[in-house]
Amino acid sequence: MKVGFIGLGSMGMGAALSALRAGLTVYGVDLSPAALERLEQAGAAGVGQDASAFAGDLDAVVLLVVNAAQCRDALFGANGIAPLLKPGTPVMVSATISPDDARRFDEDLRAAGLKMLDAPVSGGAAKAETGEMTIMAAGPQDVFDTLEPLLDAIAAKVYNIGETIGLGATVKIVHQLLAGVHIAAGAEAMALASRAGIPLDLMYDVVTNAAGNSWMFENRMKGVVEGDYTPMSAVDIFVKDMGLVTETGRSLKFPLPLASTAYAMYLNASNAGYGKEADSAVIKTFAGIDLPKKSGG
Amino acid sequence: MKVGFIGLGSMGMGAALSALRAGLTVYGVDLSPAALERLEQAGAAGVGQDASAFAGDLDAVVLLVVNAAQCRDALFGANGIAPLLKPGTPVMVSATISPDDARRFDEDLRAAGLKMLDAPVSGGAAKAETGEMTIMAAGPQDVFDTLEPLLDAIAAKVYNIGETIGLGATVKIVHQLLAGVHIAAGAEAMALASRAGIPLDLMYDVVTNAAGNSWMFENRMKGVVEGDYTPMSAVDIFVKDMGLVTETGRSLKFPLPLASTAYAMYLNASNAGYGKEADSAVIKTFAGIDLPKKSGG
């Protein structure tokens, strides 16, 4: 099976390397020469800043770019891959996008004679590298069947949500609502602890051993305790994702009081200049507290 | 060691039974005859609706009532225990109360010749029953030392936050901020999933296997999936606790955007008539969705 990975950031690179380890023939597309070189040295059959050299050979495409605009460009832009693929090639759209965008891509891919799997992913860079992502996918059963070797290679768990394109994107967005609120709540709680004179390492220890814990608290507030805001995932990713969450709420005429509040916190953090820092830097918008500094930094 | 447990709800009963199993001499006080009978049959040395029959024999007291008003009544009310205790007896105040209330109790206990441990607990009824609560405690080191056999019997983990009374209450309140926001966020996410046509059992499965998970989501949203709102902990408990959280924020002049929003959600749920149902019933305030019904119910 020949698979083209478009987007070689932390998730795309991890998935591509997992596919290589599983014995699939892998091709990679990214704008970064460093990423292309890394994948080529790992054994990719071909790499490029666009897919023109190998698109016609591919049996499947995985899109792991950042947003819907990048998906559109990668598929239908000036050097887009869609017109170059064999008829019927399945395209796994794994960026976090709105359900409306997922439905639009499906229409346009079908018009181009291609098939779509609406297949957002979760699990972070570490799970992508070990081939253990979680995939929440919607699409025709025959596309699931065709892509099975690929899904097996890159995911520990694949949810088949049904045939209706858009449900994959929706499940991911509901998931991101929780992820985004949990990081912001972690920041709010740690900021309050700091204001009250509680040592943050003790607070972190209590919470992670008690019922107030969340996956995101445990993963992201560690950085706050250590004063380390190196981005694995940046504030601006949640500006985007919580924007998609609130857009989905509006589209469904549904109130989202906590998600809307968290969205405002991420917007404010980005405007304050923390957009490229770790998403936990949303805590820096709380004034009147002293946060831990990175040792030696 | 002779220990009196005041308040034999799910947490107090569990702690008292754990102390019995550890070989301590246990006394129990509660208004419920059923609770008193249960503890007596388990081997308590004495029980009563007040402590007058055995207060003078006690080496330690544990207060596991619901709020500060009940603490005050149990200690200093008409049948309060404080005037009956031996001088220097340590009183472990384990209700969830505000830091200001903790400091007031400390003053009044010291004026009565007694000692206080500011020692809120976490872990839920299950952990209380197995003697594995988490205790976050502040107080003089000699009180910690005196209470060591008791703490060993009822807790898996004891955090010594320092000598300053009020810090235990504060750590608990920061913890409750997270617990309360996580339940409300879980409800908001599941409500959105329902509105979007996602099966809630699938949504629950995805979240609990991914980075959007929290202890509270996993524990409480199970009931929503099953349509079961039997209260282990009720909406009105979080009306109280999120009230303490926002009171603490006000006292420290500190904004808590997510906690304030979640507090409003619990208040609204209580006013809608769900105060005595499970805290996850906060989801019932979202109009325009159909939630799962309990099978056979």
Q: What is the pLDDT of chain A when averaged over all its residues?
A: 96
Q: From the CB of residue A243, how many other CB atoms can be counted at a distance below 10 Å?
A: 15
Question: What's the start-to-end Cα distance of chain A, in Å?
Answer: 47
Same domain, B53 and B115: yes
Measure CB to CB from residue A212 to each of B179, B188, B257 and give the nearest one: B179
* pLDDT over threshold 70, residue B297: no
**Which pLDDT does position B296 carry in this prediction?**
67
Tokens of A211: 């019922």
Q: Please indicate, yes or no, if residue A242 is contained in any of the structural domains.
A: yes
Tokens of A175: 């998931």
Query: B10 CB near a chain A CB, below 8 Å?
Result: no
The rounded distance, in Å, linking the Cα atoms of A26 and A4 is: 6
Last residue of a domain, one of A128, A163, A198: A163
Residues 44-103 of B with CB under 8 A from A: 99
Q: Please indicate, yes or no, if residue B297 is contained in any of the structural domains.
A: no
Residue of chain B minimizing CA distance to A181: B185
Q: Domain of A240: which CATH number? A: 1.10.1040.10
> Of residues B127, B172, B240, B284, which has the active-site annotation?
B172
Same domain, B22 and B147: yes
Q: Which is nearest to B116 in space by CA: B103, B102, B106, B101?
A: B106
Taking an 8 Å cut-off on Cβ atoms, the answer to whether B215 and A219 are in contact is no
Same domain, A131 and A191: no
Whether B172 is catalytic:
yes
Q: Please indicate, yes or no, if residue B217 is contained in any of the structural domains.
A: yes
Minimal C-alpha gap between A167 and chain B (Å): 7
Same domain, B12 and B151: yes
Same domain, A156 and A202: no
* pLDDT over threshold 70, residue B194: yes
Q: Please indicate, yes or no, if residue B293 is contained in any of the structural domains.
A: no
B137 chain-A contacts, CB cut-off 8 A: none
Same domain, A155 and A8: yes
Minimal C-alpha gap between B55 and chain A (Å): 33
The rounded distance, in Å, linking the Cα atoms of B16 and B232 is: 18
Q: Domain of B65: which CATH number? A: 3.40.50.720
**Which pLDDT does position A295 carry in this prediction?**
82
Residues 99-138 of B with CB under 8 A from A: 99, 122-124, 134, 136
Averaged pLDDT for residues B195-224: 96
C-beta of residue A110 within 8 angstroms of C-beta of residue A116: yes
- Count up the domains in chain A and report the number: 2
In order of A68, A198, A228, B170, B174, the CA distances from A290 in angstroms are 38, 12, 14, 18, 17
Minimal C-alpha gap between A46 and chain B (Å): 32
Q: Please indicate, yes or no, if residue A43 is contained in any of the structural domains.
A: yes
- Over residues B23-57, the pLDDT tens digits come to 999 999 999 999 999 999 999 999 999 999 999 99
What is the SS3 assignment for B285? helix
Q: Please indicate, yes or no, if residue B49 is contained in any of the structural domains.
A: yes
Same domain, A45 and A141: yes
The rounded distance, in Å, linking the Cα atoms of A97 and B20 is: 56
Same domain, A70 and A125: yes
What is the SS3 assignment for B61? strand
Last residue of a domain, one of B110, B130, B164: B164
Query: A208 CB near a chain B CB, below 8 Å?
Result: no
Tokens of B27: 């006394």
Same domain, B77 and B177: no
Q: What is the domain range of residue A234?
A: 170-285
Q: Which is nearest to A133 in space by CA: A158, A160, A116, A150?
A: A158
Q: Please indicate, yes or no, if residue A261 is contained in any of the structural domains.
A: yes
Same domain, A201 and A275: yes
H, E, C per residue of A272-291: HHHCCCEHHHHHHHCCCCCC
Where chain A has pLDDT below 70, the residues are 296-297
Question: What's the start-to-end Cα distance of chain B, in Å?
Answer: 47
Same domain, A108 and A197: no
Q: From the CB of residue A163, how many other CB atoms can be counted at a distance below 10 Å?
A: 12
Share of chain B above pLDDT 70, in %: 99
Same domain, B73 and B151: yes
Helix (H) or strand (E) holding B116: strand B115-118
The rounded distance, in Å, linking the Cα atoms of A277 and A280 is: 8
A vs B, Cβ pairs < 8 A, gives 214
Q: What is the ipTM of this complex?
A: 0.92
Last residue of a domain, one of A163, A194, A214: A163
Alpha helices in B112-214 (DSSP H): 124-129, 141-154, 167-195, 200-208
